[in-house]
């Protein structure tokens, strides 16, 4: 079985032959049809010690994927050989949550304090062994490529609908038009926003900002040419937006807070590159920022992945044809070209690169 793993040297990746996975009790063998290269995989590629690179622990790599059920292990209900599937790598039971800590008892297994593994996967291979309770049947109208992009879309959906509590007709600004920023936009468009602004750099013009336009952004702000805070204030007649989503991996908290209206929310999604334990704080807030936050009742919220409920909702939306993820896939490469795929995925001319085994 051809598979992408972390290179022996600890730096970068390599394509190797791995044994065919065993269909253990509770697991399903999936013949992978498409696997996405994610920002966190790139952290693995550049620096394996990134604390958020759960996917760095995976062998084979990859937590985004779709495929066809090849074998069904004992104890798995609801799936048959030949089913088209995708999967939630952070599904409750996948990571081995304890079930008895306070968070687990409250029904929030993502917050489990004793969880031993957060992320499941192994999708960058011809076959992957995946827990049955993490699988979702792909609706017939959804392609394998879209299926492989469900995971990043779930991040956007969760950020907008669950964490930001975004309501119909509200306004937003997305900092960064990468795959997650664009997924946030797709999720927000489902709520008919009154104004959707996306910021980016000159290098993002094509295809990222073009795609933002196509997905229905009302305004694009090139931060190299104009001041994003001024532009947002101008467009909102000095009121600001209801929500700012940071999707770059650069914590632009000062900038984001300055764009918000009363009771606005800043949602931080991007993971910064890991530069080791730095003594310098990454985020600097002035007294004025802090007072702004207090007087205007702003909130600063962190975001990461999604809940199981997000996946159920997403599958309904996809089945209903409410959203089309296909345009996100800008590059497709055979599994053997994974190295090239990782290089492409780190560049701004790529939105989502898929490996096709």
Angle formed at CA 302 by CA 299 and CA 307, multiple of 5 degrees: 120
92-100, 160-168, 200-208, 238-246 -> range binding Zn ion (CB under 5 A): 92-100
CA 50 to CA 48: how far, in whole Å? Answer: 6
With binding defined as CB under 5 A, does residue 351 bind Zn ion?
no
- Report the distance separating Cα 176 and Cα 95, nearest Å: 30
Q: Which is nearer to Zn ion, 101 or 191 (CB)?
A: 101
Interaction between residue 101 and Zn ion (CB under 5 A):
yes
Stretch that binds Zn ion, among 18-26, 94-102, 208-216, 221-229 (CB under 5 A): 94-102
Kindly state the smallest distance separating residue 111's Cβ from Zn ion, in Å. Answer: 8
Q: Is 61 near Zn ion (CB under 5 A)? A: no
**For residues 306 and 160, what is the distance between their CA atoms, to the nearest angstrom?**
11
Q: Which residue lies nearer to Zn ion by CB, 156 or 240? A: 156
Please select the residue that binds Zn ion; options are 15, 34, 35, 38, rule is CB under 5 A.
Answer: 38
Residues 108-147 that bind Zn ion (CB under 5 A): 112
H-assigned helices in 7-127: 39-46, 102-105
Site for Zn ion in 142-171 (CB under 5 A): 151
Candidates 23, 48, 68, 98; binder of Zn ion (CB under 5 A) is 98
Number of residues that bind Zn ion (CB under 5 A): 8
Q: Calculate the dihedral angle through the C-alpha atoms of 93, 94, 97, 103, rounding to the nearest 10 degrees.
A: -70
Is residue 250 near Zn ion by the rule CB under 5 A?
Answer: no
Give the residues lining the site for Zn ion (CB under 5 A): 38, 64, 97-98, 101, 104, 112, 151
């Amino acid at each position: 079985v051809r598979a992408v793993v972390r290179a022996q040297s600890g730096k970068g990746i390599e394509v190797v032959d791995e044994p065919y996975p065993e269909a253990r009790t509770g697991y399903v063998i999936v013949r992978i049809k498409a696997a996405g290269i994610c920002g966190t995989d790139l952290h693995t590629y550049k620096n394996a010690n990134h604390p958020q690179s759960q996917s760095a622990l995976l062998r084979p790599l990859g937590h985004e994927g779709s495929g066809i059920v090849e074998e069904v292990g004992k104890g798995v209900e609801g799936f048959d050989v030949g089913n088209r599937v995708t999967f939630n790598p952070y599904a409750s039971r996948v990571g081995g949550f304890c079930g008895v800590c306070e968070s687990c008892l409250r029904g929030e297994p993502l917050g489990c304090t004793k969880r031993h593994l957060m992320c499941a996967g192994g999708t960058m291979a011809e076959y992957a062994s995946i827990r049955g309770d993490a699988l979702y049947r792909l609706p017939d109208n959804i392609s394998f490529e879209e299926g492989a992009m469900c995971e990043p879309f779930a991040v956007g959906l969760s950020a907008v609908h669950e964490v930001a509590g975004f309501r119909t007709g509200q306004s937003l600004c997305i900092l960064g038009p990468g795959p997650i920023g664009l997924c946030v936009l797709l999720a927000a468009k489902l709520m008919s926003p009154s104004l959707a602004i996306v910021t980016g750099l000159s290098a993002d013009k094509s295809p990222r900002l073009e795609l933002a336009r196509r997905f229905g952004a009302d305004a694009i702000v090139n931060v190299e040419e104009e001041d994003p805070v001024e532009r947002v204030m101008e467009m909102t007649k000095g009121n600001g937006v209801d929500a700012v989503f940071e999707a770059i991996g650069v914590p632009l908290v000062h900038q984001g807070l300055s764009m918000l209206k009363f009771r606005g929310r800043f949602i931080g999604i991007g993971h910064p590159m890991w530069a080791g334990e730095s003594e310098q704080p990454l985020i600097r807030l002035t007294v004025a920022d802090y007072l702004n936050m207090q007087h205007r009742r702003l909130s600063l919220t962190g975001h990461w992945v999604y809940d199981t409920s997000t996946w159920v909702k997403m599958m309904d939306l996809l089945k209903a044809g409410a959203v089309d993820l296909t345009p996100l896939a800008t590059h497709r490469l055979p599994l053997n070209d994974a190295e090239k795929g990782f290089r492409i995925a780190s560049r701004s001319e790529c939105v989502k690169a898929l490996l096709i085994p």
